[in-house]
A and B are shown apart, each in its own frame.
Chain A
Amino acid sequence: MNARTKTRRRRSPRQPARAVKAWFSQHVRALVFSLGQFARNPGSNLLSAAVIGISLALPAAFYLILDNAEQVLDNWEGTIRVSLFLKQDVSADQARNLAATLRGEDGIRDVRYISREQALAEYKKQSGLDAALNGLEENPLPAVLVVTPALESLASSRGEALLARLKGLAQVDSARYDSRWIQRLLAILRILQRGVIILSCLLGVAVLLIVGNTIRLAINNRRTEIEINKLFGATNGFVQRPFLYSGLVHGVAGGLIAWLLVGGALLLLNGPITHLASLYHSEFHLHGLGLARLLLLAGVGGFLGVAGSWLAVQRHLRAADIN
């Protein structure tokens, strides 16, 4: 009994600094051990890391597509305008006053006044129906206020509210949006964003299952080792640590592979897209995967790896006792 208490004291380091050091060295040992296990069997480990990588690459690629589509649409969003066609009995002064009032309002960036004469002149120029229009006794075109809404007022349904309010003005005969399709495209994009979130969740679960299964096989393969460790007094933490680190290594490796896959795809696409953009006289450049995204992918992969192996460990390791 005496011998026992003595050995026990020797084993539990007293000073906190030493305890932290011991804890740290145990973790480093587990990490190095996991990396060694990974390197010792590169074929099958890389294979499961690649599956994780592809599962992460898909949502990453979709995010990138959406990100770039938004970038394109942002440029076009500034071109969305509301044309207010004024009633024929509204005088030029009244119209200018209205323009000035509207300009001061929230949600409106700019208002341009086009008088009836300007409208006619413009129409003549554009339509080429000079002679026919000259034959008219009266100018049939109304005066127009071109309202450029502030970008934030286009978001969600506020654009519609603005249109309804403008339509309701006494001086306004009718009002309509130009470039309505851009708004619809934006709405579709928002739906797709939701879709990508759902898809990402599903693929995240897939990664969890892949890692879980990999770790389950590892636990089965190293059953003897687990038993011996437990028999000689390993805590559950000690036994599960290498598996958690193994999950981390797999997840991070999967994140790196995903980054490489998406990066490679971008390299292939960049040439043709720049060409297309130049045809539109656009300065558009593909948003790529920078260092921040690499860290994000590796982080997400690592987190899912640890979570997946933790689930496997809870299910299979605790149950596995000594035989």
Chain B
Amino acid sequence: MIRFTDVFLRYPGGTEALKRINLYIEQGAMAFVTGRSGAGKTSLLRLIALIERHDRGQIIVNGQNLERVRGRRVPLFRRSIGFMFQDHRLLNDRTVFDNVALPLVVAGYRYQEVRRRVHAALDKVGLLTKENIYPVALSGGEQQRVGLARAVVHRPAVLLADEPTGNLDPALSWESMQLFEQFNQVGVTVLIASHDLGMIRKMKKRIITLRDGRLLSHIGQTLDQ
């Protein structure tokens, strides 16, 4: 569950990235955040992952008031979140296995458990045969799926994806949307920032539109920009 109440975000230098955002996403929902570049899509996701701190208002994620999540609580909070980047951000000096294992290693899981879960995640995204390959040897679509496996391997309650299909062709985009939907069906709350309106509409999920940092509407898939 994610709830924004009158949330403002101002970057150093005075730019207001988000203005009075009110938002509610129920647990286990799947939603898209859309809008032009600079509308605040990424900022919204970064607030949820505590990469940025909001200036005013209140954000509640998984029942936790983010204002109270500070210091040592931040790492623990982040372990309940999975994050995907547009540029994948895989570590090129580590194999696919080690990249996907990272969230588990960070949380201190034992090796047997790590291996079991990494294999399960890689199997899910169809890359089990490539576990010992380095990311540079993978195609863009495969790298994106490694990023997805890494984002879900620790079974987060919330999956955040920032332009996950930005660099993929329509067929691959559609495929990864199916994957997101599968994870959503097993109970993960999924929030995807994307400007690929055509594809988003086909997904028939809730759409949250931002313009210049304001919430335009999140009524539904009937919205036209």
How many Å lie between the Cα of A8 and that of B187 in the bound state? 17
Asked if A11 contacts B1 (CB within 8 A), the reply is no
In angstroms, how far is the closest chain A Cβ from the Cβ of B94?
8
Residues of B close to A44: CB separation below 8 A:
none
In angstroms, how far is the closest chain A Cβ from the Cβ of B13?
16
Asked if B106 contacts A232 (CB within 8 A), the reply is yes
Asked if A220 CB lies within 8 Å of chain B CBs, one says no
Q: CB within 8 Å of A: which of B38-87?
A: 49, 51, 62-63, 72, 75-81, 83
Question: Quick one: which of B83, B107, B110, B154 has the most chain A CB within 10 A?
Answer: B107
Asked if A231 contacts B157 (CB within 8 A), the reply is no
Asked if B108 CB lies within 8 Å of chain A CBs, one says yes
Asked if B157 contacts A4 (CB within 8 A), the reply is yes
How many A-B pairs have beta carbons closer than 8 Å: the answer is 67
Asked if B108 contacts A224 (CB within 8 A), the reply is no
How many Å lie between the Cα of A11 and that of B79 in the bound state? 10
Asked if A79 CB lies within 8 Å of chain B CBs, one says no
Asked if A321 contacts B108 (CB within 8 A), the reply is no
Asked if A225 CB lies within 8 Å of chain B CBs, one says yes
Asked if A229 CB lies within 8 Å of chain B CBs, one says yes
How many Å lie between the Cα of A100 and that of B46 in the bound state? 93
Q: For the side of the interface on A, what is the size category?
A: 20 to 34
Asked if B62 contacts A231 (CB within 8 A), the reply is no
Secondary structure at chain A's binding surface: helix, strand, loop or mixed? helix
Asked if A224 contacts B80 (CB within 8 A), the reply is no
Q: CB within 8 Å of A: which of B149-181?
A: 150, 154-155, 157
Total B residues in contact with A, Cβ cutoff 8 Å: 30
Asked if A231 contacts B107 (CB within 8 A), the reply is no
Asked if A228 contacts B108 (CB within 8 A), the reply is no
Which residue from B76, B103, B108, B155 sits with its C-beta under 8 Å from A22? B108
Question: Quick one: which of A1, A7, A231, A322 has the most chain B CB within 10 A?
Answer: A231
In angstroms, how far is the closest chain B Cβ from the Cβ of A6?
10
Q: CB within 8 Å of B: which of A65-112?
A: none
Known contacts A224-B89, A228-B89, A228-B91; A26 and B78 CB within 8 A of each other: no
Bits for A224-259, please: 1 = Cβ < 8 Å to B, else 0.
110111111111101000000000000000000000
Which residue from A7, A29, A236 sits with its C-beta under 8 Å from B80? A7
Residues of B close to A29: CB separation below 8 A:
105
Bits for A198-234, please: 1 = Cβ < 8 Å to B, else 0.
0000000000000000000000000011011111111
How many Å lie between the Cα of A225 and that of B105 in the bound state? 13
Asked if B106 contacts A233 (CB within 8 A), the reply is yes
In angstroms, how far is the closest chain A Cβ from the Cβ of B179?
19
Residues of A close to B62: CB separation below 8 A:
1, 4
A contact set with B: CB distance below 8 Å: 1, 3-4, 7-8, 11, 22, 25-26, 29, 224-225, 227-236, 238, 321-322
24 contacts between A and B (CB under 8 A): A1-B27, A3-B157, A3-B187, A8-B76, A8-B80, A11-B108, A25-B110, A29-B105, A227-B89, A229-B106, A230-B75, A231-B49, A231-B78, A232-B103, A232-B150, A233-B79, A233-B81, A233-B107, A234-B75, A235-B72, A236-B75, A238-B75, A238-B106, A321-B51
B contact set with A: CB distance below 8 Å: 1, 27, 49, 51, 62-63, 72, 75-81, 83, 89, 91, 102-103, 105-110, 150, 154-155, 157, 187
